[in-house]
Amino acid sequence: MGTTISEVSSHVGSEVTIGVWLANKRSSGKIQFLELRDGTGFIQGVVLKNEVDEADWEEAKELTQESSLYVTGLVREDKRAPSGYELTVSGLKLIQKAHDYPITPKEHGVEFLMDHRHLWLRSSRQHAILRIRNEVIKGTYDYFYDHGFIKVDAPLLTGSAAEGTTDLFHTKYFDRDAYLSQSGQLYMEAAAMAFGKVFSFGPAFRAEKSKTRRHLIEFWMIEPEMAFCDHEESLKIQEDYIACLVQRVLKKCQPELKVIGRDTSKLEKIKAPFPRITYDEAVRFLNKNGFDDIKWGDDFGAPHETAIAEHFDVPVFVTEYPAKAKAFYMKPDPDREEVVLCADLLAPEGYGEIIGGSQRIDDLELMKKRYEQYHLNDPSYKWYLELRQYGSVPHSGFGLGLERAIAWICGLEHIREAIPFPRLLNRIYP
């Protein structure tokens, strides 16, 4: 392995060899301009007829889009170049000539591009989005490690449902039934009782028959869980974490944000604390603004979330949903049994719910009652009840959908571009 494009700044004035692909090419007479990429960045290679071997000149002429090669040249600083540097080519060594690369610089339909996702990842826009994703992942690890959390991995094959039974992926576990994990939360509760502050970061599977801009069948979720932590404290962590992530992307990913054309002034405003409205207020607001379909007790759909979030420049917490609209494990408000100590965090600009979180029921008797109500008395949930039996403590946690967060931070029209290989209702290829 030679130098990378990302490192050329420390090689100005010297000759380097870089393994690259040809992204694009133009020529005028005795000069050819090669747009080269190596995964770490783009650089322009300038081939001058009078300064290279005849063979290299001809080779450069023959280069097709996405051909792979080793290029050798002198690194020069060039203020006009997008990367700030240029390569005066002195030699080329073709590795493979690519024939008829399907994704050309012209416009393609989204289904075509999705069918070629394995190649589409090379395009500058997709490349930039996934580098931002990488920064969000790094930012997540840094945030939680810096705040005293430890990462605990939840199983992906489970014997029970964490978030209701309607969208479970069923599979066989030898001669038994099993499900792909919808959420690591229940296991994180066990882990919080062992380690105090924990987080998991892994895939979640939802067999939702939803074909929307916001739903993936397989997505990645960050699920922190904290012992001795009430709902209010959990909200503070959520807003601080989200604000830190956004500020980090602004700090570290300016070139990528530029490539995707993100209006960063909208992201600059993302600072904690975030506004809050109660579910009750949200219902009244919706009823007043043309949504007569929502009545107290219903969960919100995408149009409702968008209508609420439109009133804010920053993410907004909707708190205290009716118990019956939410999961069995949420703790009721002691002053008002019919609502639970929970919040959904709605992103601005119509990106919908990015976080769902709550304080969990810690009382053994109440949890037993929920087991009756939700028919959870089968052996696969036994261990979860035992957490309430042996040194139960108040605890809270939340789940951030990674791709929802990225779709919002990057301003994407559809969540499918926020993950390298999306699984959608009608797509498991490539």
- Per CB under 6 A, 353 contacts ligand 4AD: yes
- Per CB under 6 A, 197 contacts ligand 4AD: no
Question: At closest approach, how far in Å is the CB of 235 from ligand 4AD?
Answer: 12
Given the complex with ligand 4AD, which of 32 and 185 has the nearer CB atom?
185
Task: Outline where DSSP puts E strands in 206-242.
Answer: 218-227
83: left (phi over 0), alpha (psi -120 to 50) or beta: alpha
Give the integer Cα–Cα distance in Å for 294 and 278: 15
Only segment of 44-52, 71-79, 217-225, 254-262 that touches ligand 4AD (CB under 6 A):
217-225
Given the complex with Mg ion, which of 129 and 323 has the nearer CB atom?
323
Give the integer Cα–Cα distance in Å for 283 and 295: 7
Distances 27 to 59, 69, 87, 309, 378 between C-alpha atoms, Å: 13, 18, 15, 50, 71
Q: What angle do CA 254, 257, 263 make, to 5 degrees?
A: 110
Residue 404 contacts which entry, ligand 4AD, Mg ion, none (Cβ below 5-8 A, type-dependent):
ligand 4AD
Give the integer Cα–Cα distance in Å for 94 and 232: 60
- Per CB under 6 A, 315 contacts ligand 4AD: no
Site residues (vs Mg ion, CB under 5 A): 356
Question: At closest approach, how far in Å is the CB of 301 from Mg ion?
Answer: 12
Give the integer Cα–Cα distance in Å for 19 and 23: 13
Question: At closest approach, how far in Å is the CB of 392 from ligand 4AD?
Answer: 18
- Per CB under 6 A, 363 contacts ligand 4AD: no
- Per CB under 6 A, 381 contacts ligand 4AD: no
- Per CB under 6 A, 56 contacts ligand 4AD: no
For ligand 4AD, how many residues bind (rule: CB under 6 A)? 22
CB 323 within 8 A of CB 339: yes
Residue nearest to Mg ion (CB): 356
- Per CB under 6 A, 422 contacts ligand 4AD: no
Only segment of 2-10, 131-139, 350-358, 365-373 that touches ligand 4AD (CB under 6 A):
350-358
Residue 191: its H or E element: helix 185-195
Q: Which DSSP category does 36 fall into?
A: E
- In the chain, % helix, strand, coil (3-state, to 5) comes to 35, 30, 35
Given the complex with ligand 4AD, which of 25 and 214 has the nearer CB atom?
214
Residue 354 contacts which entry, ligand 4AD, Mg ion, none (Cβ below 5-8 A, type-dependent):
ligand 4AD
Give the integer Cα–Cα distance in Å for 67 and 96: 6
- Per CB under 6 A, 356 contacts ligand 4AD: yes
Given the complex with Mg ion, which of 348 and 356 has the nearer CB atom?
356
Closest CA to 15 of 74, 84, 100, 91: 74
Residue 357 contacts which entry, Mg ion, ligand 4AD, none (Cβ below 5-8 A, type-dependent):
ligand 4AD
Class of residue 205 by CB neighbours under 10 A (exposed 0-12, middle 13-18, buried 19+):
buried
**H helices present in 310-428, as ranges:** 364-373, 382-386, 402-410
- Per CB under 6 A, 185 contacts ligand 4AD: yes
Question: Contact with ligand 4AD (CB under 6 A): which of 221, 227, 323, 341?
Answer: 221
- Per CB under 6 A, 348 contacts ligand 4AD: no
Per CB under 6 A, residues contacting ligand 4AD are 162-163, 183, 185, 206, 208, 215-216, 219, 221, 223, 353-357, 397-399, 401, 403-404
